[in-house]
Amino acid sequence: MTEMLTRPLGGSSIDASAVGLGTWAIGGWMWGGTDESESIAAIQASIDEGISLIDTAPAYGQGRAEEILGAAIRGRRDEVVLATKCGLVWHTTKGNRFFDFDGEPVHRYLGRESIVHEVEESLRRLGTDHIDLYITHWQDPTTPIEETVAALVQLREQGKIRAIGASNVSEQELRSYVATGELDAIQEEYSMIARDIETTLLPIARDAGVSTLSYSSLALGLLSGSMGPDRVFSGDDQRKGNPRFSLGNREKVARLMEAIDPVADAHAATKAQIVIAWTLQQPGITYSLCGARNPKQARENAAAGRLRLSDDDLTLIDAAVALHVNDLDA
C-alpha cells in the first residue's frame, strides 16, 4: 500500500500528513451540534490511519472543539502535529466586532496581550504544553502585523509554539507577514469551486517557501459525492440558505461527480477521495484539511493521502471541472 503523503511545514522542522483533519464541525457551532463520543472516535481513527495534522480553533464552539480534541489525543500527543488559532476573542472588546455567539460579541483582535492570554487558554483546553502551528484566525486591522508576529515569535522562543501561520489574509497582509521572515504557513479556502488564491496568494506563498493549508477542500460537503439534491439542512447549519448549496448548484456538482466516476473506479476510490487527491496535486497546495464527524468519514479522508493521480487523471478532472462547475452560484 502506498504510504500516507507527508510534507514539510514551511521553514520549520515539522513534517505533517498532507491530509489533515479539520475540526470545525466537531465544535458543533454552525454545524447543527456535535456528538462528543463520535467526534473523539473520528479523531482517533484519523490518527490510526496516518493523519498527523489536526487543525482546530477556539472559535469552533468557543473552546468546545479544542476540549474534545484534547480528550481525544490524551496519551497520543506525540503522534499529532497540532494546529490551533488566535485572534477571534470574547474576553475583550478590543479590535473589531466580527459576529455574535449566543448573543455575545466576538471580536477580531491580535494584540500582544490578547495572544498571550489566548495561547494559555488553548494549551489548557488541549491538555498540552505546546502547539505545533499557531495561526492568526482572521486578521485585525487595528493591530500592526509586526506587533502580532513579534508576540508569536516570543511564544516560539518560549517553546509554547513551534511554527507561525496566518489565515484569511489579503495579498497585502500576506506580503507583510512574509516581510517579517517568520511565517511558515497560510490557511485559506481552496477547492475545485473556490480557486481564487491560485492567482493571488499562492504565488506569493510559493516564492517565500510558505506552506498552504487548504480548508473546505470538499466545499463543506458539496464535493463529497454524497450530497444529493434532496438534502435538507436544519438548525444553525451554515449551509441552510447558502446560495452555494442551491438545488441548481447541487445538480451541477452531481454532473461533475458523474464525470469523475471513471477516475474513482480506476483507483478503487470514492469521489471524495479523488477530490482530496486532486486538491493535493495542485501547485502550491501543501495540505488539505478535511472535516470528519465519525470514524467512517475519517478513514475515507485518510485514504486520499495514499492516492497518486496520473497526468491523464488530472486532465480528465480539470476538463470536468471547467465544464460543470465554473459558473456555480456563490
pLDDT digits (tens, 9 = 90+) for 238-254: 677 788 888 888 999 99
60 counts as catalytic: yes
Q: Which residues pair with 97 in a beta bridge?
A: 107
**What is residue 104's three-state secondary structure?**
strand
In percent, the amount of the chain with pLDDT more than 90 equals 81
**Separation of alpha carbons 161 and 12, rounded Å:** 11
Task: Give the percent of the chain with pLDDT over 70.
Answer: 95
Predicted local distance difference test score (pLDDT) of residue 33: 55
pLDDT over 50 at 31, yes or no: no
- State the average pLDDT over residues 252-261: 95
Q: What is the pLDDT of residues 54-92, one digit of tens each?
A: 999 999 988 999 999 999 999 999 999 999 999 999 999
- One-letter identity of residue 9: L
> Could you count the other beta carbons within 10 Å of the beta carbon of residue 102?
8
By the 8 A CB rule, do 68 and 31 touch? no
The predicted pLDDT at position 148 comes to 98
Residues 6+ apart with CB under 8 A from 195: none
Catalytic residue chosen out of the listed positions 60, 109, 177, 190: 60
User: Which residues are CB-neighbours of 120 under 8 A, at least 6 positions away?
Assistant: none
Per-residue pLDDT of 182-192, as tens digits, reads 999 999 999 99
d(CA 309, CA 264): 10
Q: Cell 516564492 sits at which residue?
A: 207
